[in-house]
């Protein structure tokens, strides 16, 4: 009886061993597939980052390829065809939109100018510059002034921001504010850069939306970490593009003009005294100037003494009147002079001896 059970036990053991081998083989294959899937996704996500630095058509192609490969990591074989067609359609839409936008985009020009002026009164010239800026709807973003020892404005520097459509008119008006010494303008066409930045922003936003979808479908820690890393990189690139877009919009909508104001030089014609100090006219001018100086000095002395004269009259006049009255009374009430010896009368003879 023991001999009849021996072949059955051997057969049963062989079957169990075969099943164990099959189970171990299936586990190893599953783990290999998961590892390969994670590595494939990581490589795919790394590859799509390079598309952020490409132009509009290249970015659309890269977006189509990257989206298809990344989606294939989570989609089944039956959904891959529909996903590929949808991604390719989005890429074609991006290219068509970029081409249409570039064709319809108006010229984006960054204009800057510099004006140097000289005037007898820098303060008045600065006020006239402010009037020009207010008329065109601009603003003064920076201002710097310097004064001399007397407090008068000697130099001024103004940085103006005016609408780009009024740039030429503003330059012409500023050149007429005072005596023009120098004027220069520069213009830079950034239309292509504006269009390219707008398309990059659009593609980055679509890429972020796709990565967020992949993040929802991620089933392993490795996939989640890879997707979040790429999402962070894409968001940083999008923020950088948005800052660049804002800068271009500011520079193309408002032009910058720098105005320098200075007083006329002392040695300019009409600003100096006659150089000839000899001759009749020079002497007459010098004498007249000296007379004016003396007159001014006397007037100054008179003005300084006038308060004291008033006080002297108020206090001295009553005192003088009292002294004068006392002197008169003394002369009136004084003793009479004694009479001398009476002389002989007319009828009496003179005595001799």
What are the tokens at 283?
């002497």
pLDDT score, position 327: 80
pLDDT digits (tens, 9 = 90+) for 201-213: 999 999 999 999 9
Instruction: Inform me whether the pLDDT recorded for 156 exceeds 70.
Output: yes
Instruction: Inform me whether the pLDDT recorded for 21 exceeds 80.
Output: no
Within its chain, how far is the Cα of 338 from the centroid? 110
Angle 74-77-83 (CA atoms, 0-180°, nearest 5)?
70
pLDDT digits (tens, 9 = 90+) for 324-344: 777 877 777 655 555 555 555
What value does the mean pLDDT take over residues 257-286?
Answer: 71
What value does the mean pLDDT take over residues 24-46?
Answer: 46
Contact (CB, 8 A) for 147 and 153? yes
Range 74-107 burial, b when 16+ CB lie within 10 A, else e: bbeeeeeeebbeebbebbeebbeebeeebeeeee
What value does the mean pLDDT take over residues 246-255?
Answer: 94
pLDDT digits (tens, 9 = 90+) for 117-148: 999 999 999 999 999 999 999 999 999 999 88
pLDDT digits (tens, 9 = 90+) for 157-187: 999 999 999 999 999 999 999 999 999 999 9
pTM of this structure: 0.51
pLDDT band at 244, cuts 50/70/90?
very high
pLDDT score, position 161: 96
| H helix runs in 50-152, sequence order | 56-72, 77-104, 122-136
pLDDT score, position 69: 44
Most trustworthy range by pLDDT among 61-75, 107-121, 141-155, 306-320: 107-121
d(CA 19, CA 248): 69
Instruction: Inform me whether the pLDDT recorded for 97 exceeds 80.
Output: no
pLDDT score, position 283: 80
Q: In what order do the strands lie in the sheet with 139-147?
A: 139-147, 153-163, 254-263, 109-119, 179-189
pLDDT digits (tens, 9 = 90+) for 193-240: 999 999 999 999 999 999 999 888 888 889 889 899 999 999 999 999
pLDDT score, position 81: 41
Question: What percentage of the chain has pLDDT greater than the value 90?
Answer: 37
pLDDT score, position 188: 93
């Amino acid at each position: 009886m023991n001999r009849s059970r021996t072949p059955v036990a051997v057969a049963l053991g062989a079957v169990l061993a075969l099943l164990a081998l099959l189970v171990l083989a299936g586990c190893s294959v599953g783990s290999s597939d998961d590892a390969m899937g994670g590595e494939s996704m990581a490589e795919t996500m790394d590859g799509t980052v390079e598309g952020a630095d490409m132009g509009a058509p290249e970015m659309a192609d890269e977006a189509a390829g990257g989206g298809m490969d990344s989606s294939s990591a989570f989609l089944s074989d039956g959904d891959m065809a529909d996903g590929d067609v949808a991604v390719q359609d989005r890429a074609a839409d991006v290219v068509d939109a970029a081409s249409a936008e570039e064709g319809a985009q108006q010229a984006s020009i960054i204009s800057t100018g510099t004006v140097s002026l000289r005037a007898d009164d820098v303060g008045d010239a600065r006020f006239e510059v402010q009037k020009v800026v207010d008329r065109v709807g601009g603003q003064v973003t920076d201002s710097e002034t310097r004064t001399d020892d007397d407090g008068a404005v000697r130099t001024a520097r103004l940085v103006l921001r005016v609408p780009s459509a009024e740039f030429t008119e503003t330059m012409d008006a500023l050149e007429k504010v005072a005596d023009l010494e120098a004027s220069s303008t520069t213009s830079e066409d950034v239309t292509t850069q504006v269009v390219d930045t707008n398309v990059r922003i659009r593609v980055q936003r679509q890429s972020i939306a796709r990565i967020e979808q992949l993040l929802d479908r991620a089933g392993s820690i490795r996939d989640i970490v890879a997707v979040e890393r790429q999402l962070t990189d894409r968001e940083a690139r999008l923020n950088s593009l948005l800052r660049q877009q804002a800068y271009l919009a500011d520079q193309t909508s408002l032009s910058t003009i720098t105005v320098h104001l200075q007083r006329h030089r002392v040695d300019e014609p009409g600003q100096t005294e006659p150089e000839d100090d000899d001759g009749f006219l020079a002497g007459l001018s010098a004498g007249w100037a000296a007379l004016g100086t003396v007159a001014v000095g006397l007037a100054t002395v008179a003005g300084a003494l006038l308060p004291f004269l008033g006080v002297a009259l108020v206090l001295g006049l009553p005192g003088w009147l009292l002294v004068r009255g006392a002197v008169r009374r003394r002369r009136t009430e004084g003793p009479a002079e004694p009479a001398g010896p009476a002389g002989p009368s007319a009828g009496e003879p003179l005595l001799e001896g």
